[in-house]
Amino acid sequence: MYIAQELRKKSIAEYLLYMWQMEDMIRAMGCSLPLIRKAYISQFVDYTEEQKDNEIDWFGNLIRMMNEEGCREYGHLKINQIIMKDLVDLHNRLLQSAKFPYYNAAYYKVLPFIVELRNKGDKEVNEIENCFDALYGVMMLRIQKKTITPETEHAIKELTSFVGMLSDYYIKDRDEGLEFE
């Protein structure tokens, strides 16, 4: 909860990737709050008992939502889907506006990678989610200490830069508002 709150303030992209990781962790622990408490929350030795209780409540709410929304086995919570939709909407507005040439340039720089991702994956998924899927996949490979090819490293570096720019625009739009025309 506390990590998610901080990430949501500074980087919506990091927040979304973190939330996907929490969804997967909950699934890996069989949606068991006692197991999450024992195996995960107990490791936060700097947290007060009140903070740990808040974390337990937060995970309990995530588990309840996953059960209610039918994403106990796979998929993403509606709260995360809404953020993705907001990012896609912002992406489209940025591309359609002449006021954001650097964003357009960054998009066209990563477009070949996006096309490759779409050809390998689910073509029904929008291209921004394709970028997040790639970033998340590589994050999981790194956690598992698996080898990542230089080509993939290069693509991920470019995608990270692009998604970071989109995330920065999201925060700026949320906090100050962007003028598109």
The three-state DSSP-derived secondary structure of 102-162 is HHHHHHHHHHHHHHHHHHHCCCCCCHHHHHHHHHHHHHHHHHCCCCCCHHHHHHHHHHHHH
Decide if pLDDT at 123 tops 80: no
Q: What is the mean predicted confidence (pLDDT) over 4-27?
A: 95
Decide if pLDDT at 181 tops 80: no
Decide if pLDDT at 92 tops 80: yes
At 133 the pLDDT is 93
Q: What is the mean predicted confidence (pLDDT) over 119-147?
A: 90
Comparison of pLDDT for 117 and 100, the residue scoring more? 100
At 125 the pLDDT is 85
At 180 the pLDDT is 86
At 118 the pLDDT is 87
181 alpha-carbon distance from chain centroid: 29
Q: What pLDDT band is residue 19 in, cutting at 50, 70 and 90?
A: very high
Q: What pLDDT band is residue 88 in, cutting at 50, 70 and 90?
A: very high
Contact 130, 161 (CB under 8 A): no
The crossing angle, in degrees rounded to 10, of helices 12-28 and 49-68 is: 80
Decide if pLDDT at 35 tops 80: yes
Question: What are 62's two structure tokens?
Answer: 């995530």
